Amino acid sequence: MNLEDLNPQQLKAVGHNEGPLMVVAGAGSGKTRVITCRIANLIQEEKVSPDSILAITFTNKAAGEMKERVRNMLDIRGPSPWISTFHSFCLRILRKHISELGFSNDFAIYDTQDQLTLIKQCMKAAEISADAFPPKTLLNHISGFKNDFLRPEDLKPDEMPFGNQLKAAGLYPVYQAALKKNNALDFDDLLVLAGRLFQEVPSLRVHYNDKFKYILVDEFQDTNAVQYGLVRLLCQSHNNICVVGDDDQSIYRWRGANIENILKFENDFPGTTVIKLEENYRSTQNILNAAGSVVRENRNRKDKTLWTQNETGSPVVCYRAADETAEAEFVCEKIQELNRDEGFSFNDMAILYRTNAQSRVMEDMLRRQGLPYQVIGGLRFYERKEVKDVLAYMRVILNPSDSVSLKRIINVPARGIGKTSLEKIEEYCRQKGVTLLEGLRDNGQTRLTAPAAGKKIALFLQIIDDLDATFKQGNPLELLTEVIDRSGYGEMLKKEDTRESKGRIENLNELFSAVEQSIENGEGSLQEFLDSASLVAELDNLDDERGVLPLMTLHTCKGLEFSAVFLVGMENGLLPHASSMSEPEEYEEERRLCYVGFTRARKKLFVTHATQRRIYGTTFNYQPSDFLLSIPDAVMIRESSGFSNKATSQYGSRQNGGREASVPYKAKSDDGYSIGTKDGAYSVGTKVLHAKFGAGIVLNLSGNEENLSVEVFFKAPHGKKKLAVSHAKLIII
């Protein structure tokens, strides 16, 4: 194992042995190498048994990379370190011990679509209107309860606001009961129930504390309350816990990540050694200075300053376009220049944006220019209908109690089992307390349905029985073949004979490849394959060799890097997003998102914004992002397209054939505020302050320059207000 190329701080982190350790690893500082070298050092130098080391990260891709690096550094014979995602680790534990909580160990794992189906069933039984209470919203609230490690009995309805959250609290126990009846868990349950195991079964907690003498957690800033609780329970007896993360890259607050976990770690683990990795190996110094100047304005962060031995590099280019089309034209022009003149491959450049909706204009322009691209964040392979349908057949064969999967396939392909017949059987199941499959089998005796429907149900059950026989005799590949053939699914797609159906057949062919790969990887059972399919992450399948330009959101790009990055839509209302501009915590997360976007770039960084954008068919004026005001002129060149409108005066006159270098932005007053006027200072997303209503966000503008009105959303209890600018005396924050 060669550690000579590690810098002093990295070496210090690798060599730390006993007690809690927090490695604050800035973007591009080599944290993965530190983690893997630390694992290797513990095994080789400290003679720690490999299987007493647990390393946890968030994606299958990261876990796979970590395993490969450790494997290349050491010749490990026998047991290996446990390296996995949080969910995979918890799944492994639950498959062994979930019986302690009253579940069967052959439980199914429900994905988002399965959850949605189940919550709708629960809402129907509870007579809750899906029109009044959106099922997805209720599911999100239930997920939030779980992420905060709250059981149904822990909730206090009296303390909750009336509406979706309160309704979700009432539905939570019903939903959990339905999951248990189906012998199923959702993704949140994997974490929650593992935590319950360690809390409620002390012998198990002691066992795994003794087993895992050293615990390492990657991307610690992304942990939620349940994950942090799990980590604390696992190292309770020895405190040999090493967490690696960067508070400046905490960008998943919306899905439960709690930045406080990394900020309070030293208090929760007294005697913590803190090591900062501030040397960046990815970006130029100009890019680092620009990124640092934005995130440094956050209050809730650990102080750090990234530096590099790389070149200073070219300045960041900030381009102001007349509208979104001009913005897209500029980006495409620069991409072609970099490809043609500097040899940048398309897949080594990326277009990043705050919201998925921003991709449309970029896609249109890329198509017109004939540039190859791929939108990262589209429908995942295992979420495509034909894949989910076929896997649902296999899940029912493995777990006959899985009523959600059974309901999905009972009439796919169409076999004439109507909605009314199914509802009668479901009502029977509710009354008798049996599963849907048991209810279908009972129908032959109870004759709940019409004779014609009964015959069709009997034919379907024969298919299930035949598939079950195949399952008991063969491997997953044979079962997959039989599912596609015996169910009629393959024949259905062939008969359609359309471009779409041919693509769907290709997806099923790819599913065969996935099963084959699973077998090659030593996951030869049906259970192992379905578990693996449930845990696949989106970027795990990103093809770096295609030579196409990736387009993705800022949330998706985390962990990636490119020679050139184009961050588009740097406007108030987009970045920072309008929804964040009245909430300090969310606003700080927007800065971190910007920081993450900037630090994806190795050599070139372009940020763009448009003066006008069309939204729902109406053109609105936008102000440049406030984040741009933080970036010093020494590291950023400002350019703009040649156009004429009332906003142009803010930026100076046209120069250099339609572009101007170093165009000054409209500065705020000395106290950090500027007074809004009727000449275009207001735009959608502008943060304003009102003497009576407090802080708010501009949602809409109406009238002309002489009689301008703005619609502003203020915090409760005020809500939306329409105000005349000439009388309201609003202050732009």
Dist. CA 217–CA 227, nearest whole Å: 10
Report which of 382, 383, 449 is spatially closest to residue 416, judged by C-alpha positions: 449
Say which of 189, 219, 247, 571 is annotated catalytic.
Answer: 219
In angstroms, the CA 730 to CA 689 distance is 6
> Is the Cβ–Cβ distance between 127 and 203 less than 8 Å?
no
**Residue 106 catalytic?**
no
- Token digits for 636? 């950023």
- Contact status, residue 366 vs residue 353, Cβ threshold 8 Å: no
- Which neighbouring-strand residues pair with 601? 562
Distance CA 144, CA 226 (A): 11
How many Cα atoms are found within 13 Å in the side-chain-facing hemisphere of 266? Answer: 8
Q: Which two tokens stand for residue 407?
A: 């309901």
What is the SS3 assignment for 1-14?
A: CCCCCCCHHHHHHH
CB atoms within 10 A of CB 655: 14
Output the six-digit token pair for 496.
């359609």
Q: Which of 9, 10, 31, 678 is catalytic?
A: 31
CA-to-CA dists, residue 256 to 145, 261, 482, angstroms: 10, 11, 41
CA distance 17 to 38: 9
Sheet order of strands, 674-675 included: 674-675, 731-732, 687-690, 694-702, 709-714, 719-724
**31 flagged as catalytic:** yes
Q: DSSP state, 355? A: S
Among 114, 218, 589, 590, the active-site one is 218
For 123, the token pair is 């809402």
DSSP characters over 613-675: EEETTEEEE-PBPGGGGGS-GGGEEEEE----STTGGGT----TTT--SSPPPPPPPTTS-EE
Task: Provide CB contacts within 8 A for 583, sequence distance 6+.
Answer: none
Q: CA torsion sign, 423 to 424 to 430 to 435?
A: negative
Which one from 121, 223, 227, 249 is the annotated catalytic residue?
A: 249
Instruction: Rounding to the nearest 10 degrees, give the CA dihedral for residues 411, 413, 415, 421.
Output: 10
Q: Catalytic: 600?
A: yes
Strand partners, 186: 110
Question: Among 304, 320, 407, 600, which one carries the catalytic annotation?
Answer: 600
Residue 374 is among the residues annotated as catalytic for this protein: no
Place of tokens 């003679």: 47
How far is CA 204 from each of CA 48, 100, 194, 596, rounded to the nearest angstrom? 22, 10, 11, 39
Hey, how many other C-beta atoms are within 10 angstroms of the C-beta on 510?
A: 13
Asked if 114 and 395 count as a contact pair (C-beta separation under 8 A), the reply is no
Longest dimension (CA), the chain: 86
Residue 576: cis peptide before it, omega within 30 degrees of 0: yes
Rounded CA gap, 698 and 717, in Å? 17
Task: Supply 429's token pair.
Answer: 């199941």
Cα gap 91→104, rounded to integer Å: 13
Alpha-carbon gap, residue 538 to 535, rounded angstroms: 10
- 219 as an active site residue: the answer is yes
Of 62, 39, 63, 65, the C-alpha closest to 52 is 39
Active-site residues, by number, are 31-32, 218-219, 249, 600
